[in-house]
Structure 1
Amino acid sequence: MTRETPVLRTDPVQRLLGAATEAFAERGFHATTTRDIAGRAGMSPAALYVHFRSKEEVLYHIALRGHREARQIVADAPAGLATHAERLRAMVHDFACWHAGEHTMGRVVQYELDALDPAHRTEVVLLREQIESDVLGEISAGIATGEFGTPDAKGATLVLLSLCVDVARWYRPDGRLSPAEIGDLYGNTALRVVAAR
């Protein structure tokens, strides 16, 4: 599982993206200025415009990276597992773990999407839909084989993804549960939500 990474990096683009991620998570997109981002990165405000056309483009790169990571985690989770229950548990476990381990990025990519330009938002929403499709497909397949007792694959998908996404909002590294423990809790909860037999 990935962990939060420090802002101080040698590559200026990565420094700016790391600084922006922290600023957007703390203050929100609209309350964050390009001066805030550059200052956190140890750079001048003009330096941001060498690499990005706008503050919105910075958010777009963060949102794209975060959604690609999350989508890959969900797609890779069921590899080598035999049953729909095992595969669904792994998907939910790893998705919840990612939102804990990368909670700062998770807060930005899940809660600041409305600030994206329409074309950028469309591209990011497509990745969100792919995550939803992966989970929905696994639940639907489990219902078809009789492994899951829920009659509502779409509802179960909505519940499980919403629970995982919300981890980024409340998780704290000094809290009671580690990312792995959250993953276990949510993965086991997923099986109850779909009435796994």
Structure 2
Amino acid sequence: MTGETEVTDVATQPTESGADLTRSRLIEAARKAFGEKGFHATTTRDIAAAAGLSPAAVYVHHRTKEDLLYAISRAGHEAILTDMRAAIAGAPEVAGKLEAVVHAMVLRHTREYAAARVVNYELDGLSAQHREDIEKLRAQIQGIVRRLLRTGVADGSFVVDDVRITSNAIVAMAIDAARWYRPATDPAPDRIASHHARLAVRMVAAAG
């Protein structure tokens, strides 16, 4: 040690640019507007007003209203995939992995229920190319659950008559929590997530 005070050069620290901040404001405003009015009923003027910007400013950062929906949907699906992969890595055996995966999915869909409704229930507003991209992400989500079910069947942990149908049911159950969840009247997200996670394991567990 030299005894000198270390000085951090603030100018070298990464910061979010003004353009990035504006894009973030627009995405958040669009997410809120789509959630309240639906994609088709929302206008560019609605989004701009919610973001405190002029309608022309929207087109500086996003070519169309649909581009905003795609950005929101892609970010939401990628976040779920990240949660699921982390959940798998943190559990030692297949039943624990399935429970952790469902818990992670339901937790995000209830904590961020308003955004999750846009991500999952406004897909018909996407262009064909963007819808194809999102469907690939959704296939990855389904694939994670199907692989867990197949692994559990192979090692005797699970009994599943039809892996595809069962995985569809489990994923649908997790996603649908966003549709019916109401923070003012429903239990806390963690409690709902734990309940769904245990239920998913009971659906497939082999008799002990």
TM-score (norm 2): 0.87
1:77 aligns with 2:87: yes
CA distance in 1, matches of 2:112, 2:66: 21
Flag structure 1 segments of 5+ consecutive residues without an equivalent. 1-9
* More off after superposition, 69-78 vs 51-60: 69-78
Is residue 11 from structure 1 mapped to residue 21 from structure 2 by the alignment?
yes
Task: Give the CA deviation at 1:178.
Answer: 1.1
Deviation at 1:196, TM superposition (A): 4.1
The alpha carbon displacement at 1:176 in A equals 2.5
Do 1:85 and 1:147's aligned partners in 2 also have CA atoms closer than 8 Å?
Answer: yes
Aligned to 1:37: 47
Partner of 1:46: 56
| Secondary structure at the counterpart of residue 65 of structure 1 | helix
For 1:75-122, what per-residue CA distance to the aligned partner results, in whole angstroms no more than 9, with x for missing partners?
211113221100000000100101001111100110011111111111
RMSD over aligned CA atoms reads: 1.2
- Contact 1:143-1:151 at 8 Å conserved across structures: no
What is the CA–CA distance in structure 2 between the aligned matches of 1:193 and 1:71, rounded to whole Å? 22
SS in 1 for 2:48: helix
1:184 corresponding residue in structure 2: 194
Unaligned runs of 5+ in 2: 1-19
Identity %: 42
Q: Give the counterpart of 2:36 among 6, 26, 29.
A: 26
Distance 1:181 1:196, change over 3 A: farther
1:52-131 to structure 2, matched below 5 A, reads: 52-131=62-141
* Alignment length (residue pairs): 188
- 1:172-195, CA deviations, whole angstroms, 9 ceiling, x for partnerless residues? 222321111111011000011113
TM-score for both structures, normalised by structure 1? 0.92
1:167 to 166, 177, 183: 177
Q: CA deviation at 1:167?
A: 1.0
What amino acid maps onto 2:29 in structure 1? A
User: Which protein is bigger by CA-based radius of gyration?
Assistant: 2
Runs (4+) off by over 6 Å: none
**Larger displacement relative to structure 2 (73-82 or 106-115):** 73-82
1:145 equivalent among 155, 180, 194: 155
